[in-house]
Chain A
């Protein structure tokens, strides 16, 4: 059959999702499409979504793993509200993901897997491919299993191994559909399977078979092109949140000339920070996989006493275990970074899903009056800068710093413009030297920022003892005196509050005053920024204010809040920042609160903005402000039950 060049159409952006069983290699397919698109010069944003089980039973709804990628020829901040092209490898994947596909969207299914047993397992009464229920989409029924087996037949692999190449077939087809080059994926195959040439060849053939299928089969009448985005000039790489965080920590260690010590215990979704840092021993990085969360943080405190740049990384449940020790770090006034990659809670909650419900834990989570600085990353690449900033604050103020990320940021990725090393700030860290004969060392004396000296063991004459018992001001001796305790509680609080003078004033995007201010923090940045931007292009007086610093809050925030008629605080929790803003500034802030283990889509924020502008909502209520969509299917309810 002679192939005719099919027409190619330019589009500005596309959102694609691969979904299948957790063993189907969907995360790999998504990652390859991401890297390829990034290398093409598109702006990209991703949303991996996988179950808590490593391998849930095949074909079940609980076992579906997905990866969504949004790529565009302009700046984007979210992985996309609705999916333009959905690749579903089996009926369960179709059932759990179809609701996100745009009306009329491209739906590619592996029709070989739509046999009775799997269809029933996915909760369908009839075969969705033939019962007309998919009429609203452009359905492409592709016999992927059979075609992949044929493509790799010469490699003489077993059925299981042949079928494992199906994700490369799916990738090939999507690469054809969006006119993506194969080179990056071919390079990946060469690297990854260098020791198993027959598997490498099978994957190459499956990939090409997918491309050829798109090119030759009549059903596909045209394909698309998304041109490179006009990003700021520079060299870029695609980076995931946890990777950026690890990179930022190493940078902070070099910039401050302190060797990095990470005490950590594996926990989803923070483990990759431990994995990543453990690769960089030649950067002087010591990683210690502790016996538990408490040992992770206390070992870091021990290393901090010795002069290391100390870090402990975890997620919500682990942070809960660390809190007593974080109190010790507050009392002993040692620099320490505590990373919380938040996930759905409470308790074990939704380990692989995202949430922002640990802000309260970060700010108030310890016993006693125990303030510490809290800062949050807003996107994968932003983790790099936030890590450096955390260490700057920790050392300048001799305090533990809580750094908040979340599952969405940690596993998501975006292009990162490589910083010029010379442009990075140096972090000057000083340790007092030996004393003159006759002088007394005062471990709890303070500098102008109220920070105490970081005296290191090994320095003659500076021997001192620290601990969790209340300290006498200046001498650091154990002291139960009532006046001293009140004084020290205020002193520690003032020290942290002073940080407000050392951080940039808060800025807003959009009009300096107006009808509505959207206030966000953490991983909801992209959805809020995009929604506010849309409102502005429609001529609405809506501005967006995104907080990196959550404790202390920026010194001009109260004044900013007062310049807008309404304040909206979208959060993936029941309103934790909103409560703080209301308490701190007596502002009548309204919430948009979603607690589904998923990030906001732009449309959700937009709807709330419009609702508030029309005055439909009474801001005085403290309800969740988030109504489950009436179209919510039993499937998405069931989805909320997985994970342990």
Chain B
């Protein structure tokens, strides 16, 4: 009989730190934290090889509540911190926790570049369409006209859509879920973890204090079936309480159609998360409430070489070609001369 190596069975508690969680009661972050703690034990990566990196904002307190390694860094820079860590330590499982302000406002540049480099990291963006920690200013995802402390007459900047940005940067994994749909959320987190390359996940998250109900259309029991469409690879886009509506492509544009009366499932748009070309995923990311149901699930999951592998391959190849570098050789590079005693 072969020797069996018994791996310790981990539970959510193994990933919980001893720190008191200090989000407001009822914050959507609690749910995301709970799902993360459920998903991590299923991945086969022990807490000591898991690192959470965050920026600044409510969501960015996340690492303190995990019994893993963690860095609560500075505003917007978590993707860059994670890049240095993952590039030099490919053995670690690296998660970036960020918010809409952190990732898309002050840290927009780093987000874009982390995604295009495709390091094997997971970026989870908690989108609540508001600045919470600074007490309620509008964020880059707040809708036009949003009245906040800093926009008493309504926001006049056009919002940015996180998934459209990620797909524009040719992210290899893009998904969306919501804080209240916990089964779906844990499925998406697990898929993100399993993807090799940068996984970008947007989570609709409710801020009870400063922006309550912003995503009710997508999270409330009676509304979500009408206003969201769940993406499944290889399946047509169907939604509605009676599953009687779908998304059809009309040229380059999606349209909502009713099934029956000459329109069958075969006429609908079938989801393909593995298309090398990101246009379909982009099109799906542009379906917005109230004109369209908003898509949740995995938009895109494709394979591309990872930055840290390319970097470490270059090092391995240089060592193979030139031998492991020796200091004496380094010092005497180029032309030298000797002064006798």
Contacts and interface: CB of A to CB of B under 8 A. Distances in A.
Interface stretch (B28-36, B88-96, B138-146, B271-279): B88-96
B331 A418 contact: yes
29 contacts: A187-B335, A233-B339, A234-B339, A236-B339, A237-B336, A254-B325, A263-B84, A282-B325, A291-B80, A291-B110, A291-B112, A294-B77, A298-B74, A298-B80, A299-B87, A300-B84, A301-B81, A302-B88, A325-B77, A328-B73, A418-B332, A458-B49, A459-B48, A460-B48, A463-B70, A466-B71, A468-B72, A469-B72, A477-B19
Given A281-B315, A303-B87, A463 B337 contact: no
A233 B339 CA distance: 5
B322 interface: yes
A421 B318 contact: no
Contacts of A300: 84
Interface stretch (B60-68, B150-158, B216-224): B60-68
Shortest 8 CB-CB contacts between residues of A and residues of B? A467-B72, A299-B84, A302-B84, A283-B325, A302-B85, A295-B80, A281-B318, A465-B70
Contact of A184 (B19, B51, B335): B335
A128 interface: no
Contacts of A298: 73-74, 77, 80-81, 84, 110
Contacts of A460: 46, 48
A421 B92 contact: no
Interface stretch (A116-124, A304-312, A354-362): A304-312
A459 B48 CA distance: 6
A294 B80 contact: yes
A288 interface: yes
A236 B327 CA distance: 15
A464 interface: yes
Contact of B53 (A35, A294, A302, A424): A302
B330 interface: yes
Contact of B327 (A39, A254, A328): A254
Given A250-B330, A284-B325, A325 B74 contact: yes
A419 interface: yes
B92 to A, nearest CB: 5
Contacts of B47: 463
Interface centre among B67, B84, B339 (most CB of A within 10 A): B84
A103 interface: no
A332 interface: yes
A288 B110 CA distance: 13
Interface in B70-128: 70-74, 77, 80-89, 91-92, 109-110, 112-113
Contacts of B87: 261, 286, 288, 299, 303
A280 B325 contact: yes
B322 A282 contact: yes
A468 B57 CA distance: 12
Contacts of A464: 69-70
Given A250-B330, A281-B315, A298-B77, A465 B335 contact: no
Contacts of A108: none
A301 B73 contact: yes
Nearest to A327: B74
A35 B336 CA distance: 10
Contacts of A263: 84
Given A233-B339, A463-B68, A290 B92 contact: no
A233 B341 contact: yes
A237 B113 CA distance: 40
Contacts of A324: 74
A251 B73 CA distance: 30
Interface in B276-334: 311, 314-315, 317-319, 321-325, 327-328, 330-334
A641 interface: no
Given A251-B330, A281-B318, A325-B74, 16 more contacts: A184-B335, A230-B339, A232-B339, A261-B88, A282-B323, A284-B315, A295-B109, A302-B53, A302-B81, A305-B51, A305-B81, A462-B48, A465-B66, A468-B73, A477-B19, A478-B64
Contacts of A603: none
Given A284-B325, A324-B74, A233 B340 contact: yes
B66 to A, nearest CB: 8
B316 to A, nearest CB: 9
A328 B53 contact: no
A230 B19 CA distance: 66
Interface residues of A, number: 71
Interface string A29-49: 000000100110100000000
Nearest to A246: B330
Contact of B337 (A38, A284, A461): A38
B42 interface: no
B11 interface: no
B330 A280 contact: yes
Given A290-B80, A295-B83, A419 B68 contact: no
B17 interface: yes
A328 B71 CA distance: 10
A236 B337 contact: yes
Nearest to A460: B48
B181 to A, nearest CB: 28
A216 B231 CA distance: 86
A296 B325 CA distance: 25
B242 interface: no
A604 interface: no
A457 B331 contact: no
Contacts of A299: 80-81, 83-84, 87
Interface in A498-532: none
A467 B73 contact: yes
Given A460-B46, A478-B64, A282 B109 contact: no
A133 B341 CA distance: 49
Nearest to B89: A306
A288 B84 contact: yes
A259 B316 CA distance: 13
B338 interface: yes
Given A234-B338, A299-B83, A302-B71, A465 B17 contact: yes
Nearest to A332: B71
Contacts of A421: 327-328, 331
A457 B88 contact: no
A231 interface: yes
A282 B311 contact: no
Interface centre among A302, A306, A462 (most CB of B within 10 A): A302
B327 A458 contact: no
Nearest to A328: B74
Nearest to A261: B88
A486 interface: no
A626 to B, nearest CB: 38
Contacts of B56: 468
A231 B339 contact: yes
B110 to A, nearest CB: 5
A462 B50 CA distance: 12
A135 interface: no
A292 interface: yes
Given A282-B319, A284-B315, A418-B336, A295 B71 contact: no
Contacts of A237: 331-337
Contact of B64 (A39, A254, A465): A465
A411 interface: no
Contact of A303 (B51, B84, B112, B336): B84
Nearest to B54: A467
Interface in A261-288: 261, 263, 280-286, 288
B144 to A, nearest CB: 29
A618 interface: no
Given A291-B110, A463-B67, A306 B331 contact: no
A302 B71 CA distance: 8
A632 interface: no
Contacts of B64: 465, 467, 478
B49 A465 contact: no
A162 interface: no
Interface centre among B63, B68, B70 (most CB of A within 10 A): B70
